[in-house]
């Protein structure tokens, strides 16, 4: 075990083998320049006691769709922008119109209905919970992972939906270096037929095509649709890739991100299925969300541990010591947002005050984010903020 641990500590050198990115600022230019920052424009407060997960919102119908997820209980709740609960019901379990288990967050269709992508197929319900339609999936595999988070759900592309490819690890041999060139990272879903079409592989210019091995899910994509493009960031790769949103979905351009203090795993020459190898996921920098808004890219990211903290992470600790260390690292490495212009310049990089970076969601041309809250404190309400961009000195 000690030898194995030393191997992984050596792997961590990849986090710091290159100098950290630094922003060089000319103080004379600073007096004349302006930066782009986030500005809270409006808010929604919904009084609800429990741990809520925001699935979707719709500014047109002024509707918020959220759920309370527990081990054997899931409640769907629909509220309006004034905070009034309109309906509440459950579709979990062995019931005729149940969805089985969700594969993605729920998605609002219009003022009167929403769709669930789930084990039992594409299930459409009205706002009172009545099932309107069901289309079975043509092909089903137990998903690799299901990100139940605001900003990570289905995105409309024509009459279909774009979503992450969730192939089970059972179907993949990640010890095969050729796997990186074969994997499809996104699926095009047809809710009318139950079919899915895998699209978009990792580009040749990506770090994942450099002949190195990476821990599983290091390439998990986040994406956004705008300008007739599919903008994708693949996991820890600090690059935005722009693909045409029509077949054959060719790569139009890539935009490297010069994120300050971004520490990410750069691969290793040997693959390992040891748990410690997968543990690198929790300390490596990772792109968490990407949105194109008002002519800028908004990039939410986890900065990753520096080498010293990465080494401490793998040291043996008591449960109490491990908790203290994790809590201190959450304070030291909060998730950030970088505002990037169309040619890749980082205009601003910051920890957004009171907002959850990864929750960015664009609906009807509006940018919305969740209020950041203490996970250990259960509140009897939650808030969502409509956010815009502003110029400031």
Nearest Cα neighbor of 300 from 341, 330, 336 is 336
For the chain, residues with pLDDT lower than 50 are 1-7, 9-13, 16-32
Burial of 235 (0-12, 13-18, 19+ CB in 10 A): buried
Confidence (pLDDT) at 26: 41
Tokens of 314: 């793998």
pLDDT 10s digits, 270-308: 888 887 888 899 999 999 999 999 999 999 999 999 999
DSSP 372: P
Confidence (pLDDT) at 27: 34
Q: How far is CA 193 from CA 135, 189, 268, 327, in A?
A: 7, 9, 42, 46
Confidence (pLDDT) at 174: 76
Confidence (pLDDT) at 379: 81
**Between β-strands 195-201 and 221-226, what pairing exists: parallel, antiparallel or unpaired?**
unpaired
3-class SS letters over 330-360: HHHCCCEEEEECCCCCEEEEECCCCECHHHC
Contact between 106 and 114 (Cβ < 8 Å)? yes
Confidence (pLDDT) at 15: 56
How many whole angstroms separate alpha carbon 39 and alpha carbon 298?
13
Contact between 135 and 122 (Cβ < 8 Å)? yes
Half-sphere exposure of 246 (CA within 13 A, CB side): 2
Confidence (pLDDT) at 93: 82
DSSP character string of 225-279: EETTEEEEEETT--EEEEEESSTT--EEEEEE---TT------BSS---SHHHHG
pLDDT 10s digits, 118-172: 999 999 999 999 999 999 999 888 888 899 999 999 999 999 999 999 875 555 6
């Amino acid at each position: 075990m000690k030898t194995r641990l030393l191997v992984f500590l050596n792997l961590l050198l990849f986090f710091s083998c290159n100098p950290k990115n630094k922003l060089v600022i000319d103080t004379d230019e600073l007096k004349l320049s302006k930066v782009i920052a986030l500005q809270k424009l409006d808010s929604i407060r919904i009084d609800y006691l429990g741990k809520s997960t925001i699935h979707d919102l719709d500014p047109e119908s002024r509707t918020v769709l959220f759920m309370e997820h527990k081990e054997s209980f899931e409640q769907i709740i629909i509220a309006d922008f004034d905070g009034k609960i309109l309906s509440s019901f459950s579709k979990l379990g062995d019931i005729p119109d149940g969805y089985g288990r969700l594969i993605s967050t729920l998605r609002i269709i219009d003022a009167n209905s929403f769709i669930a992508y789930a084990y039992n197929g594409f299930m459409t319900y009205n706002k009172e919970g009545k099932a309107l339609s069901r289309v079975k999936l043509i092909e089903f595999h137990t998903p690799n992972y299901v990100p139940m988070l605001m900003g990570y759900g289905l995105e409309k592309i024509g009459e279909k939906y774009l979503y992450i490819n969730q192939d089970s690890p059972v179907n993949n041999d990640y010890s095969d270096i050729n796997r990186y060139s074969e994997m499809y990272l996104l699926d095009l879903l047809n809710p009318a037929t139950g079919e899915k079409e895998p699209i978009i592989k990792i580009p040749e210019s990506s770090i994942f095509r450099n002949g190195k091995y990476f821990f599983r899910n290091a390439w998990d994509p986040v994406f956004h649709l705008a300008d007739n493009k599919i903008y994708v960031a693949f996991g820890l790769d600090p690059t935005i890739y722009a693909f045409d949103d029509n077949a054959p979905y060719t790569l139009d351009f890539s935009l490297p991100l010069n994120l300050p203090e971004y520490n990410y795993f750069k691969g290793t020459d040997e693959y390992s299925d040891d748990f410690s190898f997968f543990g690198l996921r929790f300390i490596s920098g990772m792109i968490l969300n990407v949105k194109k808004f008002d002519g800028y890219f908004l990039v939410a990211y986890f900065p990753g541990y520096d080498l010293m903290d990465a080494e401490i992470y793998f040291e043996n600790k008591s449960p109490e010591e491990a908790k203290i260390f994790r809590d201190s690292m959450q304070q030291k490495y909060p998730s950030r947002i970088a505002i990037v212009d169309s040619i890749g310049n980082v205009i601003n990089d910051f920890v957004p005050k009171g907002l959850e970076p990864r929750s960015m969601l664009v609906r009807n041309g509006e940018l919305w984010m969740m209020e950041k809250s203490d996970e250990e404190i259960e509140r009897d309400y939650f808030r969502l903020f409509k956010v815009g961009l502003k110029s400031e000195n």
